Structure 1
Amino acid sequence: MQHKVPTEALRRKLERLSSGAPPRVLDLFSGCGGISLGFHAEGFRIDAAVEIDKTAAATHALNFHGGDERHSKSRDLTQIEPSQLTEELGLGAAEDAFDVVVGGPPCQAYARVGRAKLRDVAAHPEAFKVDPRGNLYLRYLHFVEKTRPLAVLVENVPDALNYGGHNVIGEIAEALDELGYDARYSLINTAFHGVPQMRDRVFLLALHRCLDNQVQFPAATRHFVLPQGYAGTRAVALKNVDSLFRGAYAEADHGDGSLPLPVTALEAIGDLPRITLHLEGKLKRGARYLDRPIPYPGTQAVSEYALQMRTWRDFEAPTEGLVDHVIRYLPRDTEIFRQMPNGGEYPAAHATALRLFEAALEEMKASGEKLSEAEEVKLRRAMVPPYPVHNFPNRWWKLRADAPSRTLLAHIGKDTYSHIHYDGSQARVISVREAARLQSFPDGFRFCGAMNAAYRQIGNAVPPLMAKRLAAQIRQALQLPRRALAAAE
């Protein structure tokens, strides 16, 4: 049964946008604001966000609302109604407040709740409570149903296409169809769109039918061949994009050899200040706070990408320097970081550590020093990481300067072995600001909390440059033709 949107609410949005007013965004599961930042860059106005993590909510409010306390408040999407949100923020009626709803329901919530239950969202506002395993994306749909945006963006991990044989994104597309939207989704790697990171994510775009416009995904701006591991993961994810949902699926554009290669790690972070305090014995264990500016080096070459990160409108590089160019103190691993090969994973790191240990042992023996068995064990523990080589092959990885980074994950909030700096002379993991650069956050974007919290926020985020590319597609769709207003009659 076709869902009907109230004519007057729809007309008011169309007329407002046709007068030149900026589209208003509601960002659900916003995190620190990767999607919001991309939309902001395309001229959208970020009017509201819902985020349960207190530090991430504070970061979002700091960057988009000057730290306003109303926006800094963390909110649980399962415990608040759209009308409550708009009332708290002084935005008026929920159905009038937003033109676009964006967000990525956390993948941990996915479970087979069934298409019939998804349809219940429109008829029963509390249907999401029936199955708490799936409540987060059901809740997302509930907010869409109540706020009636003209456009919708959903982002998630590739597993959302094949979660125990269950195509969650396909079912969301079907549910949106019932709510009056034409929805399509695609599996896109951000490296094809100017982000210096090989990051596969599913993006769903939906446009309300009153726009009489077709969903289009952005064309690639870069081209290369994904490594074998990424190709395998994509094949598994797409296995369940079956005939039932095939009509809503769109193949991502990968361009061809006429396009430039991806942005490399060197282009992304090579202009940032060297960090050598740990090599000079000036770095100690303990919390790192993002409050001490480090000036940019005056003689370092600046790539086109780095210049973009320094000059992003409204988020320009701070004149006093970078306050979040800080790293973890990992004294055991310094020499391993220095000597392991670029592109090397944990087996290479472990082999490097063993070689260093054996060399130290030989040197001690050659000097006449005798070690007991217990002392040898103690020395090995001090020099060699304890993890089994074959159980954690991807736990460590050293960047290549001439290639984009691997995917940044929230786990970097716990350790950063997955992203060791390519410059062996610095012998370290990447800094908070380097992680932000690889995720395409501009240098003027500030993160609340200490170092670990900042890493986690960055790893959880959608790369702003990718969000910007998608926002441009929505912006184009919202260039309202006269027939859109006629359709509201």
Structure 2
Amino acid sequence: MIDLFAGAGGLFLGFHRAGGRSVGGIEFDPLAALTYATNFHGESPADEFAVHAKARDITAQENEPAAVMAQWGHSEAGTEVDVIVGGPPCPAFARVGRAKLREINQHPEAFRQDPRAKLYLPYLRYVETLAPVALVMENVPDILNYGGHNLAEEICDTLEEFGYRTAYTLLNAANYGVPQMRERFFLMAIHERVGIHPTFPLGTHKVDFPPGYEGSRQVALKHIVPAAPFQSVRSRFVETPRLVQRPRMAVTVEDALRDLPPITAHLEGTDKRGARRFNLGVPYRDGVKPSVYARELRAWPGFASSGQLRDHVTRSLSNRDYRLFRLMKAGDDYPRAYELAERLFHEELARLAGREGKPPREGTNAWEAIRAEYVPPYDHTKFPNKWRKMEPDAPARTLMAHLGKDTYSHIHYDSAQARVISVREAARLQSFPDGFIFKGTMNPAFRQIGNSVPPLLSFALGKHLFGLLGAGNEAELPLTKPGTVHQLSLGDYL
């Protein structure tokens, strides 16, 4: 397998557990590339490791498929890759990303000019050159409604010209045992010579989604053309798979986090500001039985925990924020936090009036200083989910890429800790195993996690795809245990 736009390797990690082996990954961000190489090529000789850890711009001439394969030690570029996975960067597709681009460029359709909107083209070039047996592409749901255009159908047109049978759908990670409600687009293609059509795995967990998720889904699906008899235009979209006959209950935030040790240094005055590095290991929470989910992440094949967590670090914030985190109830968002802040501010003014005879006059420097101690400066009428205190008995809301700058969207449910989530807690919510290593300091690690595909979701996809390929090949693939290496190429089918 090769991994395009690999990031930290969340998408490949699930396929790795299902039996895939990494030929290499292409990633533009240097720290993410180092994370990928550390976890999947960490035992390579130093010179080979350096090649895998190198950050690469997939659009650059020197990173054409044959050239990269040769650097990875595979001169016959078309015979060494069975499966390609990857998710082209999505800022131009996502509605939040489009709004930011319009703001930056002051143009209503700036997202159409963003070169990142065309990064699926080098993905297709790799497919055309390497001719894998199958591929999986991931993106945000809004790739289906990109300025009123369903880009997925265009990609499928090209893949079918290359000889692939294609299908795409929307999957939510929470339906596959991830403690996070994360909806994403997935496209699967299998070469027609294999003789089977791509399908997607059944969901394993029942989840009660908030109303907003269905609304967002319908916006994304607005330009899906339903299949119908005698219809000249056909869609490769397939409905989201149903659940297994006896689905399990959703994995909750508390299931994911309860065995991790509390963090309270910020409340005790012993927290030091500055870059958070991963050089101090801490043990698991004493006396707390880990959930089934937590035990799975502790014992993930090839990435089992050492018993020490070196990235259980969190952002240092203001006493004003900690005060509000403690008072917020589970499920509260920023408008509610703002109400609490205003109440505390006016209570403080009343206290000063009683002690000093009168409070500072509104608009004075003294009044402004007191207000700043209690009320955050963000507009409470915009982006209500900028702050959100997680509910312990439900999956978390979507972890975003901007975790690297701001983790207020995921405030810990435990009021006694009054803080935002740590790096390891973000990794747990994304279903990264505890033995997976993130390179860099706190902010880059948060970004790598927020940009990733949840590995448990990709594990479900990997098991399903490898099962399909085994069923489509007379010499059935050995799918008996994690880590199995499959010697399979398109030549087997030709």
TM-score normalised by L of structure 2: 0.87
Decide which of 208, 220, 244 is 2:203's aligned counterpart. Answer: 220
Decide which of 446, 459, 466 is 1:468's aligned counterpart. Answer: 459
Decide which of 470, 474, 480 is 1:482's aligned counterpart. Answer: 474
Q: Summarize deviations over 1:301-337 as a string: whole Å, max 9, x none.
A: 2100000010101111123x10100011112200100
The 1:333–1:245 alpha-carbon spacing in structure 2 relative to 1, beyond 3 Å, is: farther
- Structure 2, unaligned stretches of length 5 or more? 44-48, 95-112, 227-231, 477-489
Shift of 1:257: 8.8
Shift of 1:388: 1.3
> Counterparts of 1:375-454 in structure 2 under 5 Å?
375-454=366-445
Please state whether the residue corresponding to 1:216 is helix, strand or coil. Answer: coil
Residue 44 (structure 1) aligned with residue 20 (structure 2): yes
Answer yes or no: is the 8 Å Cα contact 1:192–1:254 preserved in 2.
no
Residue 208 (structure 1) aligned with residue 191 (structure 2): yes
C-alpha distance in 1 between matches for 2:265 and 2:211: 37
C-alpha distance in 2 between matches for 1:154 and 1:74: 21
Decide which of 447, 453, 458 is 2:449's aligned counterpart. Answer: 458
Q: How many positions carry a matched residue from both structures? A: 446
The 1:132–1:377 alpha-carbon spacing in structure 2 relative to 1, beyond 3 Å, is: closer
C-alpha distance in 2 between matches for 1:326 and 1:487: 48
The 1:245–1:263 alpha-carbon spacing in structure 2 relative to 1, beyond 3 Å, is: farther
The 1:357–1:144 alpha-carbon spacing in structure 2 relative to 1, beyond 3 Å, is: same
Q: Which residue is 1:10 aligned to? A: none
Residue 69 (structure 1) aligned with residue 56 (structure 2): no
Shift of 1:474: 1.2
C-alpha distance in 2 between matches for 1:157 and 1:50: 20
Q: Summarize deviations over 1:263-295 as a string: whole Å, max 9, x none.
A: 000001111000000010011321101111011
Residue 78 (structure 1) aligned with residue 59 (structure 2): yes
> Sequence identity of aligned pairs in percent?
48
Superposed CA RMSD? 2.1
The 1:40–1:133 alpha-carbon spacing in structure 2 relative to 1, beyond 3 Å, is: closer
Q: Which residue is 1:60 aligned to? A: 36
Letter in 1 for 2:276: R
Q: Summarize deviations over 1:23-55 as a string: whole Å, max 9, x none.
A: xx1100000000111011111101110000001
Between 1:236-245 and 1:53-62, the stretch displaced more is 236-245
Residue 194 (structure 1) aligned with residue 177 (structure 2): yes
C-alpha distance in 1 between matches for 2:254 and 2:493: 51
Residue 155 (structure 1) aligned with residue 138 (structure 2): yes
The 1:245–1:224 alpha-carbon spacing in structure 2 relative to 1, beyond 3 Å, is: farther
Between 1:436-445 and 1:253-262, the stretch displaced more is 253-262
Letter in 1 for 2:301: R
Please state whether the residue corresponding to 1:362 is helix, strand or coil. Answer: helix
Q: Which residue is 2:290 aligned to? A: 302
Answer yes or no: is the 8 Å Cα contact 2:253–2:394 preserved in 1.
yes
Q: Summarize deviations over 1:71-104 as a string: whole Å, max 9, x none.
A: 0000010011111101111122211121000001
The 1:477–1:389 alpha-carbon spacing in structure 2 relative to 1, beyond 3 Å, is: same
Letter in 2 for 1:177: E
Shift of 1:258: 4.3
The 1:432–1:110 alpha-carbon spacing in structure 2 relative to 1, beyond 3 Å, is: closer
Q: Which residue is 1:247 aligned to? A: 235
Letter in 1 for 2:310: V
- Structure 1, unaligned stretches of length 5 or more? 1-24, 112-129
Between 1:388-397 and 1:151-160, the stretch displaced more is 388-397
